[in-house]
Amino acid sequence: MPQYEPEAWRDCHQVDGEPSSREACRLLDLLGRINYRILSGNRVYVEVGGVVYKTIYGGYWRSVFTGIEHYLLHCEQVSAAVWKEDANSTAVDLPIAYSKGGWTTSGHSLSFILNRE
């Protein structure tokens, strides 16, 4: 027997490649939790494609012209490839996009590294 899920009506399927309302809400909730941890004095690190970033904040904005929603993590690079010599610019915006495999950034899945202090 199917399990009852509250507010399942929000899960109406979107156009191919678009997240459902529930998936978008989950991402906004995650961004809010990340920002809360940062404002509480804790650090949040993410690993994307083998590079570790310290998250400065999570962001969301919607274009008034196209209506396209944009999600991102504004980060500071902590570790990089050994052969990369550019140490001047460490701040980077990691755009978060929805794909068939879930939420990804730069084609890689997100790994969060949470630490206790």
Spatial separation of the C-alpha atoms in residues 80 and 86, rounded to whole Å: 10
pTM for the model: 0.70
- Structural domain count, the chain: 1
For 43-63, the pLDDT digits (tens) are: 888 888 788 888 999 999 888
Residue-number span of the structural domain to which 55 is assigned? 15-114
* Position 47 in a domain: yes
* Position 79 in a domain: yes
- CA–CA distance from 103 to each of 43, 57, 67, 107, 117 (Å)? 21, 17, 19, 9, 28
* Position 67 in a domain: yes
For 21-30, the pLDDT digits (tens) are: 778 888 888 8
Percent of the chain with pLDDT over 90: 12
> Token digits for 73?
């993590």
